[in-house]
C-alpha cells in the first residue's frame, strides 16, 4: 500500500470511500497519498511546496498578502467542450447538445488512461461539500487529484476537509477522479504546469453519478465540484428529484423602504454574472448583496416558494475587465488570500490585467511568462485569466450565503451577449413564456471556452455546456417545475442584454454598476408598479420608467436600447425554429406553442 499521511480508517468508516481510494491508488500508482483535512496549515504547506518547485509565485505580501500567482500551459487555459462527455447508458439521454460515448467503452478507455498516471506524484483525497455542511439542500463529493493547485483551489471554492467526512459518515458521495495525466519518472524534473492536452478528456457518468477528468489542470476541467458536479451531475439529480441546478448568480436587492428581494440570473460564461453579483450600488438607499456568482441550486420550500443556495464557497472569476471603475467590489474581494491564474505579473510581484488601469505598468511579465511588449497585439493577461477567492471575503456578501435554508427567489433573469435585436430588459408574460425565453438564449462566444470568440451560438439557459442530460428533457423539466407550483409563488422571469452596440461598435449601455437601474425596474415591476409596455416579445420598460438620471445617454440611444425591431425578431423566430429541430422529438409542445404565438404576435404588428 502506498504511503499515507493519515490512516484512512481512522479518518472515515465509509466503506465505499475507503474501497474507492484504495482502488484508485492501485490504478494510478501514486508515490504517496495525502488525505486533505482542509486546514490553513495544509493549504500553506502545499502552497510553499509549489513555490519551492517554481510552479507558483508568492505575490508581494505588502501588496497582496497570502496570495499566489500561477500561469498555465498555453494550451490549458479554458474549458474544453469538445472533450467533455456525458456517458449515459443511452445516447438519447445525453441528447443532441452533448458528446456521448458508450459508457463501457469509455470506462475501458479511462482505465487505460489512468493506469499508472500518478507515478512519482502525490494523490490528494479531497472531501468537499457543495452547499453549507449539513443542509438538506447540500451534496457531498470526494475529489481525488494529483494537483496541488487543485487542492488549493478546492479549499477556496468549496467547504473542504475533515468536517465534511464527519457529516458524510456512511452516506452517499459523488466520486470525482482527476489527474493532470503526466506520470513523473524518477530523476526527471516536472514541468511547471503539467497537463496532457492530447489525451485530455472530461467524462460524466450520470447514472452512476461519477466524474473522471484527465489531462487538464484548469478551472472547470479540474475543479470537479464546479461545472462537472454542481451542474452536469446535479442537473440529473435535480431532474430526478424535482429541483433546479442552474448556471446562475444569486443576489439580494434592498430598496429605500428596507424591503429585500432575491434575484437569480443566468448569463453564459463570461457574460457578466460575477460582475452583476458584485455590483456596487451608487444609489445610497438601494443596496445589493451577493449570495453567489455562478451556480444556484433551487428547491421548493414548505411555503411553496423556490429557495436557492449557492453550492460553492468561493469565486473563480474572470479577471480582465475588472477595475475600480467597473467592479470595485471584485477588487476589494481579491485584496488578499487569493489565487491568480494567467494574469500578468508586475515587476514588484503584484498582478495586472487589461482594464485594471488605462495603461499597463512598465516591466510587465505576460501570462506566458515573457516580458510584455505594450506595442504587441497580444494581451498581457489571458482573456480567460481568473482569480480564486473565498466568497466570505466579499465586502457585500449576504450572510445568508451560508444559510442551510437558502434564500427565496423572486425573479429569474436570463441574458446573453447580443450586439443587436435583444433589448436591454423585458419581462415574460408567465412561467411558460419565461421558460421559452430560457430556451432561446443565444450569445456571442467568449474566451471562457476553447473556440471562436464572437461567434453567435445558442446557449439555452446558459446551460449548453453544463446540462448533464437531454436538453429537450431539461426544457420539459422547467415546464414541469412551473406546473407543479403555485403560479403566484413562482419567481417572475425576465431577460436582459447589457451588450447592444452602436454603428461604431461601442456598447450603448454603460453596464456594470449602472445595471442597478435595470434591477430597480425589475424590483418595481415585482412590487406591482405599472411601468411597462406590452410588446410581442414581452413587457418592456416604458421609456421614462427606467431610471436614467445622471447617465450620459441620449433619447435616441435609450430608444435603441428599448426597441423591438419586428424584422429582426421575425428573423430570430425563423432561426429558433431551425434550431429547435435539433431537439425533436423531445422538444416540449409548450415551447413550440410559445414560438408560434410569438410569430403570430409579430406578424400581426407587421401587417397593421
Kindly list the catalytic residues: 271
Rounded to 5°, angle at Cα 17 from 15 and 23:
100
Contact residues: Mn ion, CB under 5 A: 269, 294
Nearer to ligand SPV, 226 or 525 (CB): 226
* 565-584 core/surface letters (b: 16 or more CB in 10 A; e: else): ebeebbebbeebeebbeebe
Q: Which of residues 171-230 bind ligand SPV (CB under 6 A)?
A: 219-220, 226-227
Q: Which three cell numbers stand for residue 52?
A: 519551492
# residues contacting ligand GTP (CB under 6 A): 21
* Cβ neighbour number for residue 262 with a 10 Å cutoff: 23
Exposed/middle/buried for residue 500 (C-beta within 10 Å: 0-12, 13-18, 19+): buried
Q: Which of residues 470-529 bind ligand GTP (CB under 6 A)?
A: 498-499, 507, 511-512, 515
In whole angstroms, what is the distance from residue 57 CA to residue 331 CA?
A: 20
Q: Do 335 and 307 contact (CB within 8 A), yes or no?
A: no
Q: How far is the CB of 274 from Mn ion (least distance, A)?
A: 8
State the binding partner of 217 from ligand GTP, ligand SPV, Mn ion, none, CB within 5 to 8 A by kind: none
Per-residue contact flags (x/-) with ligand GTP for residues 275 to 294, judged by CB under 6 A: x-----------------xx
Per-residue contact flags (x/-) with ligand SPV for residues 240 to 269, judged by CB under 6 A: -----------------------------x
Q: Where are the beta strands (DSSP E) in 166-206?
A: 174-179, 201-205
Nearer to ligand GTP, 173 or 267 (CB): 267
Residue for cell digits 440529473? 236
Nearer to ligand SPV, 175 or 219 (CB): 219
Q: How far is the CB of 384 from Mn ion (least distance, A)?
A: 11
Among 196, 274, 428, 443, binds ligand GTP (CB under 6 A): 274
What is the 3-state secondary structure of 384-449?
CCEEEEEHHHCCCECHHHHCCCCEEEEEEEEECCCCCCCCCEEECCCHHHHHHHHHCCEEECCCCE
Cis peptide before 17 (omega within 30 of 0): no
In whole angstroms, what is the distance from residue 555 CA to residue 543 CA?
A: 9
Among 42, 76, 81, 294, binds ligand SPV (CB under 6 A): 294
State the binding partner of 498 from Mn ion, ligand SPV, ligand GTP, none, CB within 5 to 8 A by kind: ligand GTP
The torsion angles phi and psi of 605, rounded to 5 degrees, stand at -70, -35
Contact status: 316 vs ligand SPV (CB under 6 A): yes
In whole angstroms, what is the distance from residue 321 CA to residue 318 CA?
A: 8
CA pseudo-torsion sign 1, 52, 353, 382: negative
The torsion defined by the Cα of 61, 64, 65 and 71, in degrees rounded to 10, comes to -90
Q: How far is the CB of 59 from ligand SPV (least distance, A)?
A: 22
State the binding partner of 227 from Mn ion, ligand SPV, ligand GTP, none, CB within 5 to 8 A by kind: ligand SPV
Q: How far is the CB of 415 from ligand GTP (least distance, A)?
A: 9
Contact status: 417 vs ligand SPV (CB under 6 A): no
Among 95, 131, 292, 320, binds ligand GTP (CB under 6 A): 320
State the binding partner of 79 from Mn ion, ligand GTP, ligand SPV, none, CB within 5 to 8 A by kind: ligand SPV
Contact status: 382 vs ligand GTP (CB under 6 A): no
Q: Which residues would be at the binding site for ligand SPV (CB under 6 A)?
A: 79, 219-220, 226-227, 269, 294, 316, 448
Amino acid at each position: 500500500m502506498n504511503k499515507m499521511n493519515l490512516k484512512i480508517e481512522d479518518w472515515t468508516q465509509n466503506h465505499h470511500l475507503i474501497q474507492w481510494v484504495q482502488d484508485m491508488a492501485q490504478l494510478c500508482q501514486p508515490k504517496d497519498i495525502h488525505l486533505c483535512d482542509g486546514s490553513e496549515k495544509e493549504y500553506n504547506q502545499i502552497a510553499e511546496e509549489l513555490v519551492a518547485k517554481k510552479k507558483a509565485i508568492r505575490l508581494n505580501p505588502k501588496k497582496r498578502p497570502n496570495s499566489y500567482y500561477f500561469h498555465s500551459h498555453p494550451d490549458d487555459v479554458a474549458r474544453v467542450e469538445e472533450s467533455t462527455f456525458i456517458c449515459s447508458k443511452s445516447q438519447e439521454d445525453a441528447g443532441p447538445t452533448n458528446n456521448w460515448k458508450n459508457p463501457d467503452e469509455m470506462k475501458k478507455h479511462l482505465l487505460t488512461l489512468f493506469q499508472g498516471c500518478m507515478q512519482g506524484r502525490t494523490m490528494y483525497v479531497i472531501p468537499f461539500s457543495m452547499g453549507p455542511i449539513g443542509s438538506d439542500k447540500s451534496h457531498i463529493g470526494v475529489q481525488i487529484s494529483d494537483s496541488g493547485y487543485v487542492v488549493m483551489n478546492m479549499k477556496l471554492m468549496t467547504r473542504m476537509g475533515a468536517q465534511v467526512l464527519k457529516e458524510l459518515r456512511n452516506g452517499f458521495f459523488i466520486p470525482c477522479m482527476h489527474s493532470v495525466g503526466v506520470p513523473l519518472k524518477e530523476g526527471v524534473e516536472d514541468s511547471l504546469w503539467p497537463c496532457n492536452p492530447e489525451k485530455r478528456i472530461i467524462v460524466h457518468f450520470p447514472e452512476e453519478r461519477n466524474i473522471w477528468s484527465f489531462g487538464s489542470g484548469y478551472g472547470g476541467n479540474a475543479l470537479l465540484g464546479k461545472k462537472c458536479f454542481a451542474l452536469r451531475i446535479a442537473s440529473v439529480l435535480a431532474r430526478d428529484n424535482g429541483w433546479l441546478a442552474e448556471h446562475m448568480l444569486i443576489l439580494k436587492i434592498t430598496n429605500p423602504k428596507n424591503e429585500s428581494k432575491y434575484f437569480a440570473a443566468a448569463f453564459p460564461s463570461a457574460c457578466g454574472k460575477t460582475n452583476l453579483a458584485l455590483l456596487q450600488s451608487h444609489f445610497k438607499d438601494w443596496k445589493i448583496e451577493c449570495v453567489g456568482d455562478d451556480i444556484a441550486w433551487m428547491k421548493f420550500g414548505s411555503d411553496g416558494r423556490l429557495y436557492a443556495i449557492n453550492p460553492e464557497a468561493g469565486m473563480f472569476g474572470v479577471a480582465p475587465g475588472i477595475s475600480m471603475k467597473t467592479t470595485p467590489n471584485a477588487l476589494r474581494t481579491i485584496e488578499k488570500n487569493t489565487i491568480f491564474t494567467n494574469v500578468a505579473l508586475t515587476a514588484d510581484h503584484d498582478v495586472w490585467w487589461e482594464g485594471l488601469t488605462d495603461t499597463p505598468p512598465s516591466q510587465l511579465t505576460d501570462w506566458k511568462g515573457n516580458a510584455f511588449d505594450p506595442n504587441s497585439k497580444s494581451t498581457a493577461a489571458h482573456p480567460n485569466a481568473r482569480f480564486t477567492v473565498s466568497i466570505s471575503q466579499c465586502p457585500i456578501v449576504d450572510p445568508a450565503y451560508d444559510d442551510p435554508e437558502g434564500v427565496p427567489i423572486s425573479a429569474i433573469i436570463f441574458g446573453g451577449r447580443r450586439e443587436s435585436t435583444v433589448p436591454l430588459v423585458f419581462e415574460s408574460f408567465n412561467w411558460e413564456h419565461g421558460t421559452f425565453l430560457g430556451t432561446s438564449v443565444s450569445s456571442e462566444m467568449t474566451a471562457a471556452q476553447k473556440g471562436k470568440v464572437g461567434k453567435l451560438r445558442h446557449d439555452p439557459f446558459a446551460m449548453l455546456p453544463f446540462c448533464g442530460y437531454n436538453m429537450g428533457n431539461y426544457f420539459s423539466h422547467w415546464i414541469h417545475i412551473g406546473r407543479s407550483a403555485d403560479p403566484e409563488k413562482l419567481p417572475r422571469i425576465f431577460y436582459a442584454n447589457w451588450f447592444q452596440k452602436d454603428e461604431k461598435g461601442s456598447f450603448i449601455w454603460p453596464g456594470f454598476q449602472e445595471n442597478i437601474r435595470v434591477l430597480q425596474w425589475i424590483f418595481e415591476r415585482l412590487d406591482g408598479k405599472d411601468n411597462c409596455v406590452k410588446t410581442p416579445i414581452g413587457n418592456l420598460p416604458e421609456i421614462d420608467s427606467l431610471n436614467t438620471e445622471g447617465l450620459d445617454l441620449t433619447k435616441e440611444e435609450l430608444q435603441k436600447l428599448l426597441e423591438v425591431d419586428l424584422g429582426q425578431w421575425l428573423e430570430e423566430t425563423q432561426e429558433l425554429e431551425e434550431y429547435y429541430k435539433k431537439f425533436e422529438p423531445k422538444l416540449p409542445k409548450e415551447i413550440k406553442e410559445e414560438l408560434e404565438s410569438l410569430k403570430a404576435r409579430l406578424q400581426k404588428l407587421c401587417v397593421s
